[in-house]
Amino acid sequence: MSSSHRAKKSLGQHFLHEQRYIDRIVQAVNPRPGDRLVEIGPGQGAITRPLLARHGELTVIEFDRDLITPLMEMAEGGGRLTVIHRDVLEVDFGKLAGPDARIRLLGNLPYNISSPILFHALDHAASIRDMHFMLQKEVVDRMAAGPGSKIYGRLSVMLQAYCVVTPLFTVPPGAFRPPPKVDSAVVRLQPLARPEVLDHDRFANVMRAAFGQRRKTLHNALDGICGDADMEAAGIRPDARAEQVPVADFIRLANHLPQSGANA
């Protein structure tokens, strides 16, 4: 595809162009026959082109209307490319999966909406086999952080409750046009076959409250959602702060609460 298309700052576009990182991403995805590959934000097709050549079939979700025709032209004679022109947050990933085949998600996620996309993918985790995303390195660090770290937060807990999070490698600013002001990183997310969370909405509400005001103790942050006895039953000290509590303890707490606790 021609590189004449100018990146749109409003869409958080930074187009990958350095071949060695393109190759590493394709190698990390390692598509196999029968895989249902879905790429978010293909941009100028840096990852799309080699994946299509290797796999023969690919679905892409692209919001920028100006990129649709160039993507289709790029794919001519090179494989079957299906383009979905929509906001990714409005796409039902479950409908892209088959009754006996989950999708494999990948993409260079726009910096300005990377977290909403991750949470949207979590909502459809049962339909996803794995995810390979490139994001700001600081976001990947937060995704993989453990309790006790200053960057351990709601994103860390929500993702680790449902997925195995594996940072793969860092990508420098110079690998993009235009170069971003920060390093990027590629991460692999593998949804758990049987997440221990019993009620997704209740768990999400507890996490939202727990990390909503990080300086508060959980006794105060979760007031109205659960009491000290509930926390103690889950092995959590009420005077602890959210960033001190392991993922498994938060899951145990949310599972312990009655259904009405999610809406308290």
Q: Give the model's pLDDT for residue 260.
A: 47
Whether the pLDDT of residue 262 is over 80: the answer is no
Buried-exposed string 73-104: b where 16+ CB fall within 10 A, e elsewhere:
ebbeeebebebbeeebeebebeebbeeeebbb
- Residue 6 CB contacts under 8 Å (≥ 6 apart), including other chains: none
Whether the pLDDT of residue 220 is over 50: the answer is yes
Phi, psi of 96 (to 5 degrees): -85, -15
Q: How confident is the model at residue 261 (pLDDT cuts 50, 70, 90)?
A: very low
Q: Give the model's pLDDT for residue 13.
A: 52
Instruction: Tell me the CATH architecture of domain 200-263.
Output: Orthogonal Bundle (1.10)
Q: Give the model's pLDDT for residue 99.
A: 81
Whether the pLDDT of residue 140 is over 50: the answer is yes
pLDDT tens figures, 5-54? 454 444 445 789 999 999 999 999 999 999 999 999 998 899 999 999 99
Q: Give the model's pLDDT for residue 10.
A: 42
Cα of 67 vs its chain's centroid, Å: 23
- Rounded to two decimals, what is the model's pTM? 0.91
User: What are the residue boundaries of the structural domains of the chain, listed by start?
Assistant: 9-191, 200-263
Look up the CATH superfamily of 9-191: Vaccinia Virus protein VP39 (3.40.50.150)
Cα of 174 vs its chain's centroid, Å: 23
Q: Give the model's pLDDT for residue 3.
A: 46
**Count of alpha carbons within 13 Å of 241, Cβ hemisphere only?**
13
